């Protein structure tokens, strides 16, 4: 409030000073809509660096398509590299909220970091849009009116993959992931879908984030002899895992399934090791919709590479913010009106249009995809209009 009052006083003074010096200051121009201050808190170094960059690219692409602004407002960016380090999450989020006084926090990739960020957003009543991190709790027990997500819960693709693995006739599986919220929740989702379809998870294996020492774990998988393996890995760690699984000779003997992060944006770096992998995700290559086509054409022209799911989630974060800003056109950034419009928005996403659940998480189709060359080609819809159960969310 005080910040706003200060700005208006400055504007009035600028008008008076202008008149005193005989300069014509058009009052209409002085009254132009306030700019929007966007805090991007994302990983730009470490195992998830490429993911943070893709989200940023996607966000800025949508702003560029709108003529370089959102709902007529100038967009000013404040950027922090969160290094995917949960220990620094509060301090980094505070830099954006308290020092830079951003109007909206956009971030992040890592679930543990996002949980810390969301606490800062809740405590300071700052609008927050999560363009990746899937921590179930963010739109579960920790849900809040000012916290939105344009990505997924870790449960969503995990559950869909478990359902498909059971439908494919597998009776036993072993899971492997980094030991942190995202991996454990993805595995829980898989286990739920797989066991509901008659399968049994024999063992849930983990290693610390962002470790890539897989050899002993691969030996254990080989000795457990499951009919299927489910993993959650992403970014650089995903590349190393898939190469090691192949080199250990397991790819030929035990089918490997995953949430689609394993193969999104990583197939080129895997060489041929990712070929043929089946994964479940809310985005795929070869979706037959006009929005995706124009999104991909313009992304590849601007950034000289193909977009992935992270670019889509960043693009949709900007679309959701625009829906909020449309509700306060030319006026103050009244958060209540923005929240109402964002909660009711239909986002015209390249993944297919989606709406948000009461907990502010996308209700969306989860696709089954097959890795072919550098693409994750859509095979079918594994789980149509899948909503996270949002257990524990009260609002």
**Rounded (10°) CA dihedral 394, 387, 297, 59:** 10
How far is 257 from 136, CA to CA, in rounded Å? 21
CA angle 71, 360, 151 (to 5 degrees): 80
Smallest distance from ligand PHB to CB 265, Å: 9
Nearer to ligand PHB, 112 or 199 (CB): 112
Cβ proximity to ligand PHB, 199 vs 235, nearer residue: 235
Q: What x/- string results for residues 321 through 340 when contact with ligand PHB is judged by CB under 6 A?
A: --------------------
Range 244-273, binding ligand PHB (CB under 6 A): 261
Hey, is 41 helix, strand or coil?
strand
Q: Looking at beta carbons only, is 143 or 325 nearer to ligand PHB?
A: 143
Q: Residue 321 has which token pair? A: 């913010």
Instruction: Report how far residue 28's alpha carbon sits from residue 252's, in angstroms, rounded to the nearest whole number.
Output: 69
| 170 lines the binding site for ligand PHB (CB under 6 A) | no
Number of residues that bind ligand PHB (CB under 6 A): 12
Distance CA 108, CA 89 (A): 10
> Which parts of 329-388 interact with ligand PHB (CB under 6 A)?
none
80 binds ligand PHB (CB under 6 A): no
> Is residue 133 involved in binding ligand PHB (CB under 6 A)?
yes
Instruction: Provide the 10 A C-beta neighbour count for residue 330.
Output: 12
Whether 36 and 74 have beta carbons less than 8 Å apart is answered as yes
Closest CA to 279 of 309, 250, 252: 309
Q: Which is nearer to ligand PHB, 158 or 350 (CB)?
A: 158
Nearer to ligand PHB, 36 or 135 (CB): 135
Site for ligand PHB in 36-75 (CB under 6 A): 48
- Closest CB 326 distance from ligand PHB, rounded Å: 29
Inter-residue contact 261 to 271 (CB < 8 Å):
no
Answer yes or no whether residue 317 interacts with ligand PHB by CB under 6 A.
Answer: no
- Cβ distance to ligand PHB smaller for residue 61 or 313: 313
CA-to-CA distance for 186 and 184, rounded, in angstroms? 5
According to the binding rule CB under 6 A, does residue 312 interact with ligand PHB?
Answer: no
Residues numbered 90 to 109 that lie near ligand PHB (CB under 6 A) are 109
| Separation of alpha carbons 299 and 71, rounded Å | 21
Q: Give the one residue of 73, 110, 360, 370 binding ligand PHB; rule: CB under 6 A.
A: 110
Question: Rule CB under 6 A: is residue 111 a binding residue for ligand PHB?
Answer: yes
Distance in angstroms between the alpha carbons of the first and the last residue of the chain = 25
As a whole number of angstroms, the distance between CA 137 and CA 148 comes to 12
Query: By C-beta, is 103 or 185 nearer to ligand PHB?
Result: 185
Positions touching ligand PHB (CB under 6 A) are: 48, 109-111, 132-135, 154, 182, 234, 261
């Amino acid at each position: 409030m005080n910040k706003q009052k200060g700005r208006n006083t400055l504007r009035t003074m600028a008008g008076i000073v202008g008149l005193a010096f005989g300069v014509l200051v058009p009052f209409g121009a002085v009254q132009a809509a306030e700019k929007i201050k966007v805090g991007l808190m994302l990983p730009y170094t470490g195992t998830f660096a490429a993911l943070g960059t893709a989200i940023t690219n996607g966000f800025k692409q949508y702003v560029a398509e709108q003529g370089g602004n959102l709902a007529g407002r100038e967009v000013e960016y404040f950027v922090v590299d969160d290094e995917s380090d949960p220990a620094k999450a509060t301090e980094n989020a505070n830099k954006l909220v308290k020092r830079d006084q951003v109007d909206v926090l956009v971030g992040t990739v890592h679930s543990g970091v996002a949980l810390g960020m969301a606490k800062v957003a809740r405590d300071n009543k700052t609008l927050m849009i999560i363009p990746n991190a899937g921590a179930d709790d963010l739109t579960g027990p920790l849900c809040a009116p000012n916290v939105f997500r344009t990505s997924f819960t870790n449960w969503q693709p995990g559950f869909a993959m478990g359902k498909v693995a059971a439908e494919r006739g597998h009776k036993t599986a072993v899971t492997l992931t980094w030991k942190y919220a995202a991996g454990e929740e993805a595995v829980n989702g898989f286990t739920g879908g797989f066991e509901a379809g008659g399968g049994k998870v024999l063992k849930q294996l983990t290693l610390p984030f962002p470790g890539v020492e897989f050899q002993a774990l691969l030996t254990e998988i080989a000795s457990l002899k499951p009919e299927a393996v489910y993993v959650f890995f992403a970014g650089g760690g995903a590349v190393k895992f898939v190469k090691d699984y192949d080199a250990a000779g397991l790819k030929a003997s035990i089918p490997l399934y995953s949430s689609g992060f394993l193969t999104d944006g990583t197939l080129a770096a895997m060489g041929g090791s990712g070929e043929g992998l089946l994964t479940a995700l809310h985005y795929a290559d070869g979706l037959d919709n006009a929005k995706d086509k124009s999104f991909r054409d313009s992304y590849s022209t601007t950034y000289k590479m193909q977009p992935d799911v992270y670019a889509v989630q960043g693009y949709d974060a900007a679309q959701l913010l625009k829906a909020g800003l449309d509700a306060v056109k030319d006026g103050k950034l009244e958060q209540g009106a923005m929240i109402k419009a964002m909660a009711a928005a239909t986002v015209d996403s390249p993944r297919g249009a989606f709406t948000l659940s009461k907990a502010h998480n996308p209700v969306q189709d989860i696709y089954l995809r097959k890795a072919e060359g550098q693409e994750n080609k859509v095979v079918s819809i594994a789980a149509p209009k899948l909503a996270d159960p949002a257990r524990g969310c009260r609002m």
